[in-house]
Amino acid sequence: MIKKGCLLGVFLCLLIAFPAHAQVGNLSSASAVLYEPQSGRVLYEKDPDTKRPMASTTKLMTALVAAEHVSPDRLVSVPAAALYTEGSSMGLQAGDVLTMRDLLSGMLLSSGNDAANAAALITAGSLPTFAELMNRKAASLGMTNSVFVTPSGLDEGEHGSTARDMALLGAAALRSPLVASLCAQKRDTITVSGRTITLTNHNRLLTLYEPAIGLKTGFTKKSGRCLVSAAQQNGVTLVIATLNGGDYWNDHMALYEYGFSKTESVTPSVPALVDMAVVGGTQSTVSLATPVPEAVTILKGEVLTTTVMLPNFLWAPLEQGERVGTVTYYRNGTVVCENPITAEQAVAERPPLTFGIKWRRQLKELLTALME
């Protein structure tokens, strides 16, 4: 039963706990973080805050920054300076013309260092200036232990990050529709100055593990095998970052099996809302409505709580759809979402009574009382 007042009640969404059998076991990676981005919780960590080189997983940041500054449909020309680099390449030539979207595809799928340098130069004019943009973006994402020097991820200076920070970067990449969609592709065919180039994604997890949806691999002799990946299953999205690994495919699959065994996606129950009294209106009550909340990722066995906040009564006039209160959903005391409570109908203000009408009504009420 709901008690009226500012805080009207607490509803419990009872969740059934299932035992989790999956275990992580021994990982080949020196650092690892299993991250649930909706709640911001780390579900597993191994040496998460040691700064290490992260190789071409850097390109997630390069792609994010470039995508924020240059339209994906813009035709760009490859600067000759972008080609003076070692390592993997998508096969660009000086003066090549292609869209920024296709340049990012070559960077993320084929891990082209030429593409990363080209995107940086086109975006910022110089690699040091682009590095400033990368570090500014890192700070905005809460990557407190990261330094970006090169757009390609080649080792230089203090270039490095942590598994915790790279998990945050992976979650940010998922929030970018362009970057997320490119990282999820196994192959892509693009046109560069009239040449057709087929790109193959280096991320074999997309083939090995069905729930995988991206993101980026990396390797140098100094960094070892690095991988930032994401997977979705039964409405749950998880992100994993591993640095300095060996068998990183199996590391990630083991971590996902563990993470998905611990989590589930649930839709909180909508509380029952009773009609509310309306003062000064052409009708005495009004029906209330609130939308069904979005699904929430929780740990199996957790309990969601719901609070409803409404006044004791409402004043006319009311518009249809006017917000009159709030439903707040909590997970372990932390707010996961808030939905408005609205009036389902409009309620007009009652016209003021004239003196004569007021007097006759009061007289009628008096005579009625005397006769009872």
Tokens 């993470």 correspond to 259
Give residue 25's pLDDT band: very low, low, confident or very high (50, 70, 90). confident
The catalytically annotated residue of 29, 31, 46, 59 is 59
Inform me whether the pLDDT recorded for 19 exceeds 60: no
Read off φ and ψ for residue 249, nearest 5 degrees.
-60, -50
Residue 24: its pLDDT value, please?
83
The catalytically annotated residue of 31, 88, 105, 111 is 111
Inform me whether the pLDDT recorded for 272 exceeds 70: yes
Inform me whether the pLDDT recorded for 371 exceeds 90: no
Q: CA 133, 136, 139 angle in degrees (round to 5)?
A: 150
Under CATH, domain 31-246 is a member of which superfamily?
DD-peptidase/beta-lactamase superfamily (3.40.710.10)
State whether CATH 2.60.410.10 applies to domain 1-19+264-372.
yes
Tokens 């792609």 correspond to 63
Region of poorest pLDDT, from 103-107, 181-185, 206-210, 361-365:
361-365
Residue 366: its pLDDT value, please?
72
Helices 59-69 and 163-175: crossing angle in degrees, nearest 10, is 40
**Domain ranges across the chain:** 1-19+264-372, 31-246
Of 259, 198, 209, 214, residue with least CA distance to 32? 259
Q: What is the pLDDT of residues 188-236, one digit of tens each?
A: 999 999 999 999 999 999 999 999 999 999 999 999 999 999 999 999 9
Give residue 21's pLDDT band: very low, low, confident or very high (50, 70, 90). very low
Task: Please give the Cα distance from 213 to 253 (Å, whole number).
Answer: 13
Inform me whether the pLDDT recorded for 6 exceeds 50: no
Beta strands 236-245 and 288-289, pairing class = unpaired
Inform me whether the pLDDT recorded for 4 exceeds 60: no
111 catalytic, yes or no?
A: yes
56 catalytic, yes or no?
A: yes
223 catalytic, yes or no?
A: no
Task: Please give the Cα distance from 349 to 194 (Å, whole number).
Answer: 69
The catalytically annotated residue of 56, 110, 223, 229 is 56
